[in-house]
Amino acid sequence: MNESLPGGLHVSRETASRLSAFEAVFRKWAGSINLVAPSTKSDFWSRHIADSAQIFQLLPAPKRWVDLGSGGGFPGIVTAILLAELGDGWVHLVESNNKKAAFLRAAIAATDARASVHAIRIEAAPRQIPDCDAVSARALAELPLLLDFVWQWAERNPACRAYFHKGRDYQAEVDKALCRWDFDLVRHDSVVEPDSVVLEITGLKRKASD
């Protein structure tokens, strides 16, 4: 039986319970460490949960994910909770801040999310996590730098996909990235934030002159 949650998200009762458990952990930890912008805490379900869930809804199958700069758990913990319903797939959460990494471990323990935490710098992640099918990041960096991070995984697995939340000025970042990279791009309009998008990138290759 599905439940309708704030933010327009429809999930099973078990997943709804896990997401509520995540909210409880989030609110406990957010009182002492900065997990999201303070102005967005009150809009937790639509601004963070539903916004994160749309990543999984674009690729709703068991996959090996790497979530970069996982911080407050968006979208990585949400993806891992949705994978728990499938009983397969995994999310590697990369977060170098030790306090935030501890929060992520607490969130996993409370929700049985299919994830593990790597308290390392993003640049070191491809050595510790050699293979993945998909990479995600939210509010982390401009697109050219994100593609630098993704490149080693894309080089090893040409089918690797990347999903990045971006705001209204995303086209300027795309144009800048195209100076150094070739890639296929699909723009998905955000189901939560007007003027925002999720960029889906495949076929990433360095330009010959780079």
Continuous H helices in the chain: 13-30, 51-58, 76-86, 98-111, 125-128, 143-156, 170-177
Please give the pLDDT value at position 8.
65
Q: Which residues contact 47 (CB under 8 A, 6 or more apart)?
A: 7, 40, 192, 193
| Dihedral sign of CA atoms 192, 84, 150, 186 in order | negative
Q: Does the pLDDT of residue 178 top 70, yes or no?
A: yes
Please give the pLDDT value at position 44.
82
3-class state of residue 27 by DSSP = helix
Please give the pLDDT value at position 6.
60
Please give the pLDDT value at position 5.
64
Q: Does the pLDDT of residue 70 top 90, yes or no?
A: yes
Give the pLDDT mean for 66-85.
96
Please give the pLDDT value at position 191.
85
More confident residue, 95 or 1: 95
- Residue 157 phi, psi dihedral angles, 5° rounding: -130, 95
Please give the pLDDT value at position 47.
81
Give the pLDDT mean for 156-175.
96
**Eight-state DSSP code of residue 140:** S
Please give the pLDDT value at position 40.
65
Q: How much of the chain exceeds pLDDT 90, in percent?
A: 79
Reported as a single tens digit per residue, the pLDDT across 120-161 is: 999 999 999 999 999 999 989 999 999 999 999 999 999 999
Please give the pLDDT value at position 193.
82
3-class state of residue 149 by DSSP = helix
**How far apart, in Å, are the Cα atoms of 155 and each of 92, 148, 151?**
18, 11, 6
**For all residues of the chain together, what is the average pLDDT?**
92
Q: Count up the domains in the chain and report the number.
A: 1
Residue 73 to residue 140: CA distance in whole angstroms: 12
Residue 23 to residue 179: CA distance in whole angstroms: 41
Residue 76: give the domain boundaries.
Answer: 2-206
Q: What single letter denotes the amino acid at residue 7? A: G
Q: Does the pLDDT of residue 115 top 60, yes or no?
A: yes
Contact between residue 77 and residue 104 where contact means Cβ atoms under 8 Å apart: yes
CATH number at residue 26: 3.40.50.150
Q: Does the pLDDT of residue 210 top 80, yes or no?
A: no
pLDDT band for 83, please (50, 70, 90 cuts).
very high
Residue 208: exposed, middle, or buried by beta-carbon count in 10 A (0-12, 13-18, 19+)? exposed
Reported as a single tens digit per residue, the pLDDT across 190-209 is: 988 888 999 999 999 999 86
pTM, rounded to two decimals: 0.94
